[in-house]
Copies of this chain bind each other. A is one copy, B any other.
């Protein structure tokens, strides 16, 4: 198991658990030989799902847990009380270094709380941000923070920028990633109090490729690689991306059904259109990592299907092999100690 990346997958979390979760885990195992997967959850259910597939059995282990944390439960209470749940057990395995990463499509609240309370922050990291990749015109950008820390302070945003740069450079292979600060105008004097205080701090960071303020309008164009914002704003961006996309696509489909002429046209454009829109679908890019922890926690969408689960697991491999946490410790913490 020397070069194996060990990923715990929460088999009970999400709208499509356990079926799609188990399927995604199997697909990941079959895609790479350097993954070992632990599935946490109810053993009989997981075994029934696994029996449908062929896969290298020596690289999978079921860790039975009796409890399940529901999406509607108050997260702090759930993490504290349900010790024998698929989430708490999985996170404890990361904490104990029995695994490198934990993937779940379950309760966002429980995952955020558990990440901080159980897995714990890297020393010196003030607030671990949640950072999904979002599709842009010709690629992807990292949105950091998209929901972990509302009412953040300027120093938090500076850490987000540094963590995000390391991630994009090492996991996504973007050389010298462009960092933008979400703002309501391009000029330095624009913005709210948080942004105005953060701007000069980011400008001072010589190790960052800070390109200044970015307006929400330009985000889908791929104007920067690391999109820095406070969690409330980030969450609005992520969800509006989904919402506008879904509504527009349904409008386009509806428009194509208005006449016989357009219906025939629709049949002809359908395959090409499907391919194009796929590239603008966030699920292609795996889940949102909660960064800055002693290990890795990845939150995938509640409605995740096997492909997203698989991609999230593969993301954990890249993250672990690239020693991202080591780089965060070296570049961010040392930098801060100098200052």
Contact = CB atoms under 8 A, between A and B. Distances in A.
Interface in A266-285: 266-273, 275-277, 279-280
A216 B192 contact: no
A240 interface: yes
A236 B237 contact: yes
Interface stretch (A4-12, A23-31, A255-263): A255-263
A272 B251 contact: no
A134 to B, nearest CB: 10
Assembly of this chain: how many copies? 2
Give the residue among A150, A264, A269 with the most B Cβ atoms within 10 A. A269
B240 A255 contact: no
A261 B251 contact: no
21 contacts: A147-B184, A150-B191, A150-B192, A150-B193, A192-B232, A195-B232, A216-B240, A219-B243, A233-B236, A240-B241, A248-B249, A248-B280, A251-B276, A251-B279, A252-B273, A252-B276, A255-B272, A256-B272, A258-B272, A265-B269, A265-B270
Interface of A: 74, 136-137, 147, 150-151, 182, 184, 189, 191-193, 195, 215-221, 231-233, 235-252, 254-256, 258-259, 261-262, 264-273, 275-277, 279-280
